Amino acid sequence: MPSPIRFPFLARPVRRLMGPLQTSAEGMALQQKFIEVISRNIANAETTRTPEGGAYRREVAVSDGSGSVETVEDARPGRQVYDPGHPDADANGFVSYPNVELNTELVDMMVARRVHEANATVFQSAKAMLRKALDI
Amino acid sequence: MLKSLFGPDSLTHMLRGGLEEASATHRAIAARVAGAVEASTSGDFAGQLEAHGRAQSSEADLQQDMTALADTELRYEADAKLLQAAYARLRSAIRGNA
């Protein structure tokens, strides 16, 4: 995750005003990370061969609430497709495909995008409030 | 006399309190919106069914937060304008302008 913006050089009242800016920036970085993971899943939706062996496994990014993100593998099995001519087909002619469902990924991406937008709106609002405070 | 102008019962003091309160509310909203979604997916199908209620409530919370955000921003702006006017009046009185 990108390192969050910090303002150690500013006086405490100014830092307090800057607080929402920092929080929103962290929120946007978190959603950015989610979108990265989702796009990796979409890019590998048909990958039947990986360096680790077998088909690509879907990844899920989970936040622990402190700003760090952990990526875990989805344990569900992938689909089996009968295709004896495929280079990755097993002895019975079945090919293991990744456990990625495009519909799920696209819905997850829409959620991440909306939350990213919400954070951007809070950021803009904090900026407008700071500007008003400077006009006093 | 200065106490009545800048003391705890003065208009400027009350308006400053209003600004502080709006600022604190804004910080709380920012924290809630930043932590609105904690995973890049809603999980497996059974988990999705279970989480359906959670997802809806999270959406409702987000909508409430965005409404509260607009409200807080307006309150802050109003307080800032009033404070600006109060200081302008004080400045005018000190300088003896009409």
Q: In chain B, what are the helix, strand and coil shares in percent, each to the nearest 5?
A: 80, 0, 15
Closest-CA residue of B relative to A135 is: B84
Report CA torsion sign: B78, B81, B82, B83: positive
pLDDT of B45 reads 46
Residues 6+ apart with CB under 8 A from A83: A89, A93, A94, A95
pLDDT of B1 reads 65
Chain A positions touching B41 (Cβ under 8 A) are 38, 60, 104, 108
Selecting from B39, B72, B84 the residue whose C-beta is nearest the C-beta of A62 gives B39
Instruction: Please name every residue paired with A71 in a beta bridge, in sequence order, or none if there are none.
Output: A61
Closest-CA residue of A relative to B77 is: A132
pLDDT tens digits, one per residue of A94-122: 999 999 999 999 999 999 999 999 999 99
pLDDT tens digits, one per residue of A32-45: 999 999 999 999 99
Is there a contact between A103 and A97 (Cβ–Cβ < 8 Å)? no
Rounded Cα–Cα distance for residues A67 and B24 (Å): 21
CB-based burial, B32-57: b 16+ in 10 Å, e otherwise: bbbbbbebbbbeeeeeeeebeeeeee
CB pairs under 8 A between A and B: 102
Return the residue in B20, B25, B40 with the most chain A beta carbons within 10 A, the one to mutate for interface testing: B40
pTM: 0.79
For residue A87, give how far its alpha carbon lies from the nearest alpha carbon of chain B (Å). 30
Structural domain spans, chain A: 12-135
Is there a contact between A112 and A35 (Cβ–Cβ < 8 Å)? yes
DSSP three-state, residue A17: helix
Closest-CA residue of A relative to B56 is: A111
- In chain A, the N- to C-terminal Cα span, in Å, equals 37
Chain B positions touching A37 (Cβ under 8 A) are 40
pLDDT tens digits, one per residue of A54-65: 899 999 988 877
pLDDT of B90 reads 86
Query: ipTM of this predicted complex?
Result: 0.75
pLDDT mean values, one per 10 residues, chain B (98 residues): 73 89 92 83 56 55 90 93 91 81
Residue type, B2: L
